[in-house]
Amino acid sequence: MSMSDEQTADLMKRFNQAFLEHDPSILDDLIAEDCVLENSGPAPDGSRHVGRAECLAWWTAIAANKETQFEPEEIWASGERAVLRWRLRWGPTDADSVRGVNLMRARDGKIIEGMGYVKG
């Protein structure tokens, strides 16, 4: 089943909510069994996580970290694809933060791919 722009954007808003609220339980219903996640670190190629359990564990650790603050900047969706721009803060100044983007893909109301990149 293909997803509309609105359905994909709604899915990504719920995904972001897990990080905003530091509530990883929100992620439980959002991640597909065949999900693949590529992260920006470590350099040069980042890490790759395959399958629901690995992707959920990675995102859960970030969402549960109450020492950071997640700030969504924009969600853009087109069909099954979405772009999420964000900032992650671990201190009070912009020097204590990083801006990034996730390139996401969804199918049947679940996230099947997340590729994260940060400005360096």
- Reported as a pLDDT band with limits 50, 70 and 90, residue 2 is confident
Q: Provide the sign of the torsion angle of the four alpha carbons 9, 80, 100, 66, taken in this order.
A: positive
**Cβ-contact 3, 106 below 8 angstroms:** yes
Element (H, E) at 31: strand 31-38
For β-strands 31-38 and 110-118, DSSP reports them as: parallel
Angstrom distance (rounded) from CA 54 to CA 10: 23
Are the CB atoms for 101 and 115 separated by under 8 Å? Answer: no
Cα(26)–Cα(63) distance, integer angstroms: 10
In 39-79, DSSP assigns E strands to: 48-50, 69-78
Rounded-to-integer distance, Cα 103 and Cα 110, Å: 14
Helix (H, G, I), strand (E, B) or coil at 76: strand
- What's the number of domains the chain is made of? 1
Given this model, what pLDDT does residue 43 score?
A: 85
Instruction: Kindly report the backbone phi and psi dihedral angles of residue 67, in degrees, each rounded to the nearest multiple of 5, phi listed first.
Output: -85, -5
pLDDT tens profile 32-63: 999 999 998 888 889 999 999 999 999 999 99
Q: What CATH code is carried by the domain that includes residue 29?
A: 3.10.450.50
Residue range(s) defining the domain that contains residue 70:
5-118
Single pTM value for the model: 0.94
